[in-house]
Structure 1
Amino acid sequence: MSQEILSKLNANHISDISSSRNEPEWLKDYRNSSFSVYDSLPIEMSPLYNKYTDAKKMDPEKVSLSTSTTNTIPSFLEKRLGELENETCIIQIGTNIHKINLSDDLKSKGLVISSISDAIKNNSELIKQALESSNSKDDKFTALNNAAFNSGVFIHVPKNLVLDKPIHFLSCLSDDGMSTISRNIIFADENSKAVVVQELYSPKTTTQQAYLELLHTNLASNAHLDVTTLQMMDQHAVNFSTRRTDLAQDAKINWYSGLFGTMLSRYKIDYFLNGTGASSNDSEVIFGNNDQSFDIQTNVNHESPSTEGRVVEKSILRNKSKSLFKGMIRIKENASKSNSFLSGRSILLDKDAKSDAIPGLEIFTNDVKATHSASVAQIDEEQIFYLKSRCLSHEEAERTIVEGFLEPLSRKMSFQVRAWIAYLIESKWDNRELTINTDEELAKFVEVEETRYNEDAEIEQHYKYR
């Protein structure tokens, strides 16, 4: 078992990873070329963003990497794993795939769920396609992941397959203190439809542990994918995630992110709307407390005409927590008749909380609609006073205002996703463990969301009886 700290990562460690997995020569060359790029790049590529980023909070002297980790199941996960016993799922603990649950019926229909190592052997063309689409020169941590990934998940939804139930993808850092670099790939073929739920956990630890992820999602023509990411890691951990999503003609993706854990979360998200009629909808909810820091960069690249993009980020910040939202809409020369919206908004619950938003537009053609906005504000004391005069405590008044702040965003989510996020916000507010165990308490949230005010139903009723 080869082990090294991140600051001393070298070509020998990269070779050990390849050798331990009997990887082909083309992949060894890919790793080595990516590693040579990693050494030469700064932590933050843009001078505009450099003075704001907290990426240096990840201490390379404390992040330990290994070709393999312990496969012991952390005790706090046992209940959740029991609930996933009969669900379509893949469970990753550290660098190990603990379990893959895939029914014979779905196997016969062509659904593939596997480790990245097995996919390199059995689905090499798709893996090559995903790796080649990732440019290591774009970002230091993209290069690191391409060079040193020691684990990963592969999901392939075949042509015309429509899944009724979600695919659960759960990752947890190992309890031996080792960090994980994960290369995750999702392919959705033509006319397919699926829901993927990603859950990120880590054990409680006094040392800095990192989950470094590069997630590539590719949607073929008319594919439809709903992805939910719930990050619930311990506040001693670090989470760096680089996402790239490519969409072909008329493909559609809805991505909902709830970021609650870690001392530092750095997400770099890119959508490439490559086909006419492609559509992406990205909704991000952040709740920070203590000294947590969230660094989010979301870019929507309109490459073809009549494409639609929507990014809405909302942060709730307490104590000395911080958020940085960097968003960019790029509408290329051939992307006329495209429509794009970008918004970053933060609400500060304490005077030491801080938020920065840097939205941008780059438009290279005419006949498009594009707009962006950003706001950072503290809670209005008059609103607090009004709610307290209606017999609410100060804390209840704050919670009510926060619920109203998130309401327009939550309406775009399914009732299950809204329930999960509402439950996690409540848990964090009360300093409870962050998890989405479907116990009786969470069931109450689901019940409330199922019976929630339905705006569309009222509109339909209005026209029906007009």
Structure 2
Amino acid sequence: MSKVKGHKSVIFDLRLSTFDACLLMQEKPKVSVTRTRRDSAAKEFSFTADSIPAGGLKDVRAKAWDAFTKFSMPITTDEAWRRTDLRLLPASDFKIPKEGAFEDLPVVPESLLKPLTGEQHGGQITLLPGGSRVDLDPDLVSKGVIFTDIRTAEREHTELLNKLIGTIVKPEDGKFAALASALAGNGVLLYVPKNVQVETPLHSVLWGPGTDLAHFSHLIVYVEDGASVTYVHEAASPNETGHAMHAGIVEIHVGKDANLRFVELQSWGRHVWNFSHERARVERGGNLDWIFGAVGSRLTKNFSDLDLAGEGSVGRMSGFYFTDGTQHLDHDTQQNHLAPHTTSDLLFKGALKGKSRSVWQGMIYVAPGAQKTDGYQANRNLILDEQARADSIPGLEILADDVRCTHGATVGKFEKEPLFYLKSLGIAQAEAERLVVEGFFDPIMQRIPFEGVRERFQQAIQDKLSVDK
């Protein structure tokens, strides 16, 4: 944990986990190996410019495609990808679902469509392979709220969509950001007008069944000055044999004195390669409560950036993840304090079973002049099996001289003493393990104001603990 105050320019960047540092200290025989970048990279995708969806965003997507073609496939010598290897990604096999493809694929479970916040939805969007379904309360429509799928937005809100898309997450942010920008024919536009209070939560589900398919999504959330809304989005699919992929973008704007609660749940099937670029910009006096939950996918690489752009803006990021088997989840977070008197608060907690691996890389950046910043980040990991591994890399870059920034990271094994105590009270082994793990996650649960979301996380804990190693 580091606290910084009264220094003009201080930079902390912890790039090596304890495990990596130990490896570097070991003497290794020198081996001369000549490798090209292509030798150490995954195969390229087979998509072409003809894969770009038709519609009102044709020009925007064409520019994104140009950016995509200039990027090489990420490899482990790239700093952001050092701990996530894509060489097994069967990129050339993936195809975009045809129009109406969902009609021949497993249907979305009713359990995913139930409200997780409150008793009912103010609106719900179901994004499907080659289609979508939209429902919105007429009262919200009368207030000027727009909550619809991207295809409808292209037809009915062309000017607004073209004004907003690609302004927060840009194609130049990375290969997968460019790919999703170019090919995402599925997605959501949420627009809340100035001073409108949306009392009933909004909900969307991205349902991605099928193998050898590439699912692309683009979410745009724009909350005008003084407005407020709660929005829950879940990406999910059944477990299937083979491979599938998702590449997505989330762009969030929280206006002056506006409030957004945004909940993201990731429960992709174990065959899915998942990539996402997400960024939120919060203006003066705005408040964002951003909640993440990740229990699915074969491999996930997620970039989540919080830009506190206006004086007095506040952002809180709360993350929950639980891995087992050979799952690999890599979350890369950035808290950017770009104005004075801003506050960020990040807490990510994860548990790992089997041979799974998690990576969390976090950075708090304080810009010159962003005085009176208060930044906090912490990552806590619980290792339940000897072969599981968690890498936790916090970082600070501080370019102002009157700030308070704190960070910390821990990786700990499953303690036997609490289990012994609980078993001495007559509690069975499995129940005792569940209680210990739930106790570990309790600080995250306390940060979640929605009972339905807490119940979903608690069910995920039980499901993971009941799966054989």
TM-score calculated relative to the size of structure 2: 0.84
* AA matched with 2:135: N
Determine the C-alpha separation between the residues in 1 that align with 2:209 and 2:120. Answer: 23
- The CA deviation at 1:309 is 0.6
Q: Does 1:71 align with 2:113?
A: no
In 2, Cα distance between the equivalents of 1:394 and 1:28?
A: 54
Q: Say yes or no: does 1:281 pair with 2:316.
A: yes
1:103 and 2:134 are equivalent in the alignment: no
Between the aligned partners of 2:77 and 2:145, the Cα distance in structure 1 is 38
Amino acid of the residue matched to residue 44 of structure 2? S
8 A Cα contact 2:46 2:91, kept in partner: no
Q: Which moved more, 1:194-203 or 1:125-134?
A: 125-134
Match of 2:91 among 60, 70, 73: 60
For residues 382 and 283 of structure 1, the distance between their equivalents in structure 2, rounded to whole angstroms, comes to 28
Asked whether the equivalents of residues 45 and 139 of structure 1 are also in contact (C-alpha less than 8 Å), the reply is no
Could you say which residue in structure 2 is the equivalent of 1:337?
372
Q: What SS class does the counterpart of residue 22 from structure 1 fall into?
A: coil
Are 2:40 and 1:9 aligned?
A: no
Measure the CA separation in 2 of the matches of 1:128 and 1:285.
33
* CA displacement, residues 216-250 of structure 1 (integer Å, 9 cap, x when unaligned): 11111111111111112211112212101011111
1:382, CA displacement in angstroms? 2.2
Mark the CA change 1:125 to 1:106 in structure 2 (over 3 Å): closer, same or farther.
closer
Counterpart CA distance in 1 for 2:154 and 2:55 is 10
1:255 alignment partner, one of 264, 284, 290: 290
Aligned with 1:163: secondary structure?
A: coil
Question: Could you tell me whether the CA contact under 8 Å between 2:64 and 2:171 is conserved in 1?
Answer: no
Matched residue type, 1:242: H
- How far residue 112 of structure 1 moved from its aligned partner, in angstroms, is 0.6
Q: In the TM superposition, what is the alpha-carbon distance from 1:31 to its structure 2 partner?
A: 2.7
Specify the SS of the correspondent of 2:182: helix
Note if 1:42 corresponds to 2:74. yes
Q: Counterparts of 1:81 and 1:226 in 2: how far apart (Å)?
A: 19
Question: Which residue in 2 is equivalent to 1:51?
Answer: 82
The match for 1:419 among 455, 462, 465 is 455
Aligned partners of 2:263 and 2:346: how far apart in 1?
Answer: 14
Gaps of 5+ in 1: 433-466
Q: Secondary structure at the match of 2:363?
A: strand
Residues 166/136 of structure 1: CA separation in 2 closer, same or farther (3 Å cut)? same
| CA distance in structure 1 between the partners assigned to 2:59 and 2:353 by the alignment | 48
What is the CA-CA distance between 1:69 and the residue it aligns to?
5.4
How do residues 99-248 of structure 1 correspond to structure 2 at under 5 angstroms? Answer: 99-121=133-155, 122-175=157-210, 177-248=212-283
Q: Counterpart of 2:111?
A: 80
Instruction: Give, in whole Å, the separation in 1 of the partners of 2:77 and 2:290.
Output: 25
**Distance in 2 between the 1:245 and 1:412 partners?**
19
1:368 is aligned to 2:398 = no
The whole-number CA distance in structure 2 between the counterparts of 1:422 and 1:76 is 25
CA shift for structure 1 position 141: 1.3
1: CA distance, partners of 2:312 / 2:295: 33
Who is 2:126 aligned against? 91
Is this contact kept in 2: 1:14–1:148, CA < 8 A? no
Q: Deviations over 1:34-78 (max 9, x none)?
A: 22333x46346843x443124445331343234645022755624
**Equivalent pairs, count:** 421
Match of 1:9, as an amino acid? S
> What is the match of residue 12 of structure 2?
none
The residue identity in structure 1 corresponding to 2:168 is S
Which residue is equivalent to 2:301? 266
> C-alpha root-mean-square deviation of aligned residues, in Å?
2.4
The CA distance in 2 between the partners of 1:376 and 1:30, in whole Å, is 43
Deviations 1:329-354 (A, max 9, x none): 00000211010111111100010110
State the partner residue of 1:385: 420
- Contact residue 72 and residue 174 of structure 1 kept, 8 A: no
Aligned to 2:65: 32
Residues 389 and 25 of structure 1, relative CA distance in 2, 3 Å threshold: closer
Distance in 1 (CA, whole Å) between partners of 2:366 and 2:252 is: 21
Q: Secondary structure at the match of 2:96?
A: strand
Determine the structure 2 residue equivalent to 1:397: 432
Cα distance in 2 between the residues matched to 1:261 and 1:229: 13
Corresponding residue number in structure 2 for 1:462: none
- 2:384 counterpart (340, 346, 349): 349
Equivalent position amino acid for 1:31 in 2? A
Q: Identify which range, 149-158 or 117-126, moves more after superposition.
A: 117-126
The answer to which of 391-400 and 343-352 deviates more is 391-400
User: Are the aligned partners of 2:438 and 2:461 in contact in 1 as well (CA < 8 Å)?
Assistant: no
The whole-number CA distance in structure 2 between the counterparts of 1:86 and 1:377 is 40
Shift of 1:420: 2.1
